[in-house]
Amino acid sequence: MTPDRPRLVVLGLDGLPLSLAHRLAQGGTGGLAPRLPNLARLLPRASSIEAELPELSPVNWTSFFTAKGPGEHGVQGFTVLDPATYALRIASFDDVRCPTLFEQLGEKGLVSRIVNLPNMAPARPLRGMLIAGFVAPELARAVYPPFLLGPLAAAGYRVEGDTTRGATDPGHLLAELRRSLDARRAALNLLWPDLAWDLFVYVLTETDRLFHFLFHAVDHPGHPLHEACLGLLVEWDRVLGEFLDRYDALPGPKRLLALADHGFCELTQEVDLNRVLIEAGYLRLERPPRDEWDAGVIAPDSRAFALDPGRIYLHRASRYARGRVAEADCPALRQDIRQRLMDLTWHGQRVMNRVLDGRELYEGAQDAPDLLCVPEPGFDCKAKFDRATVFGHYGRTGMHRPEDAFFYDSEANSPEYSRPVQVRDVGTLVLDHFGIQNSTGGILL
């Protein structure tokens, strides 16, 4: 071990809002200690950053590990539509168009260890070790080097807990999240101890899963499931403490960054944008959809469609095999749809905060959405192909928000410190720490 090896440690706290972190970590009345003392250790220097848009985990964690925005790295949502066949698939690491932090560090001879970082599957070689996170269909395709598979399997490691029953079986959800926390512990025990690394990235995704299904219970002390949720968060806080204790024991020089990929708030209604487009006459389905993923139902005379969570695409003849919208008609059509969305209300409440021009947001990216919706807090944009109504509840009680994402830097009080604004800026901090310039490269397709 080299005492002066300048190590950087990154802790990912998926979906944790700064405001909620303060509420959760507060001490009780009568001088009681904080319920989450290890989270409380971070709060004195904590601040917030903005998520990239759309405020999804694969978009934002990819922005972190490339130090680029979605227009450059190419991951713009959970799904990718094939413009020739209209097949819809989950985005993956194969869609990333920029070099990662880990590749750039590896070129300098620096070693990375990575645990549970979303959108890094299928795993590929790097100078270091990787256990990729969500979405990884199987553990064998989530690890590098391959020899990690044996000890991880022996420890019962799981990439993701089973949350399919989260909406109807809170006990099952909480048990699954405890099992996934145990898996993160096992991975930390495997990859940390030899200290033969320069960068260590460790992501806990359990908060995001909990908040999607039980945010109302977490945030409201009077809810009957509040104490059960706090029990899970106490266990999460213990894992957090074990990690922070390991960091504290590191020889210097060292630095700790902690970040969330987006914020969270309580859900009022899900808002299906394809149903909005259908009812407004912009989207026509040529047959009944088989399921929510069946984008093949888009009829040739459709003028627009939506993809998750708030991406609107004009059905251009120049881009899509069955598209008929001419380029000359796009500006007026884009404005008409934008106005329709901005006028959308639910019980008198405005649904949309902003509807942005995707070409301006993702400047230079030819595959950018035409419009990107940013709803008001409480309204969660969806883009299914089989929903019969615009508004509805489907078992979730929490939703992502672009603002209020948790951020911490152990060097935040240093002179001339420049606080990051967006998630991509945290990736730039990593490169800066190791003296690597953030290139302006990237392939804009």
pLDDT confidence of residue 28: 40
Q: Looking at per-residue confidence, does 428 or 166 come out higher?
A: 428
pLDDT confidence of residue 27: 52
424, pLDDT greater than 70? yes
Q: Looking at per-residue confidence, does 258 or 439 come out higher?
A: 258
Q: Looking at per-residue confidence, does 437 or 279 come out higher?
A: 279
Give the strand pairing for 199-204 and 269-272.
unpaired
The full set of domain ranges for the chain reads 7-265+400-433, 269-392
Question: What percentage of the chain exceeds 70 in pLDDT?
Answer: 96
pLDDT confidence of residue 92: 97
pLDDT confidence of residue 362: 95
Round to whole Å and give the CA distance between 277 and 148. 47
Burial of 247 (0-12, 13-18, 19+ CB in 10 A): middle
Cβ atoms < 10 Å from Cβ of 356: 16
pLDDT tens-digit profile of 21-49? 999 987 543 334 578 999 999 999 999 99
445, pLDDT greater than 80? no
- State the pLDDT confidence band at 2, using cuts at 50, 70 and 90: very low
Contacts of 284-291 with C-beta under 8 Å, sequence gap 24+, read: 285/385, 289/385, 289/386, 290/386, 291/385, 291/386
Round to whole Å and give the CA distance between 100 and 238. 30
pLDDT tens-digit profile of 342-375? 999 999 999 999 999 999 999 889 899 999 999 9
Lowest mean pLDDT among 17-31, 203-217, 431-445: 431-445
pLDDT confidence of residue 67: 98
pLDDT confidence of residue 415: 78
| Residues 56, 118 contacting (CB under 8 angstroms) | no
pLDDT confidence of residue 33: 58
- State the pLDDT confidence band at 3, using cuts at 50, 70 and 90: low
127, pLDDT greater than 60? yes
- Residue 312, CA distances (Å) to 62, 178, 300, 399, 417 in order: 21, 37, 16, 19, 38
Round to whole Å and give the CA distance between 222 and 396. 19
- One-letter-per-residue 3-state SS of the chain: CCCCCCEEEEEEECCCEHHHHHHHHCECHHHCCECCHHHHHHHHHCEEEECCCCCCHHHHHHHHHHCCCHHHHCCCCCEEECCCCCCEEECCHHHCCCCCHHHHHHHCCCCEEEEEECCCCCCCCCCEEEEECCCCCCHHHCEECHHHHHHHHHCCCCCCCCCCCCCCCHHHHHHHHHHHHHHHHHHHHHHCCCCCCCEEEEEECHHHHHHHHHHHHHHCCCCCCHHHHHHHHHHHHHHHHHHHHHHHHCCCCEEEEEECCCEEEECCEEEEHHHHHHHCCCCCECCCCCCCCCHHHECCCCCEEEECCCEEEECECCCCCCCCECHHHHHHHHHHHHHHHHCCEECCEECEEEEEEHHHHCCCCCCCCCEEEEECCCEEEECCCCCCCCEECCCCCEEEECCCEEEEECCCCCCCCCCCCEHHHHHHHHHHHCCCCCCCCCCCC
Q: For residue 369, what are the contacts with CB-CB under 8 A and spacing of at least 6? A: 76, 307, 311, 312, 313, 358, 362
Round to whole Å and give the CA distance between 16 and 20. 7
* Rounded mean pLDDT, 393-409: 97
- State the pLDDT confidence band at 141, using cuts at 50, 70 and 90: very high
pLDDT confidence of residue 316: 98
Structure tokens at 385: 């192909």
Domain 7-265+400-433 carries which CATH code? 3.40.720.10
How high is the mean pLDDT of the chain?
A: 94
* Rounded mean pLDDT, 164-179: 92
pLDDT confidence of residue 31: 38
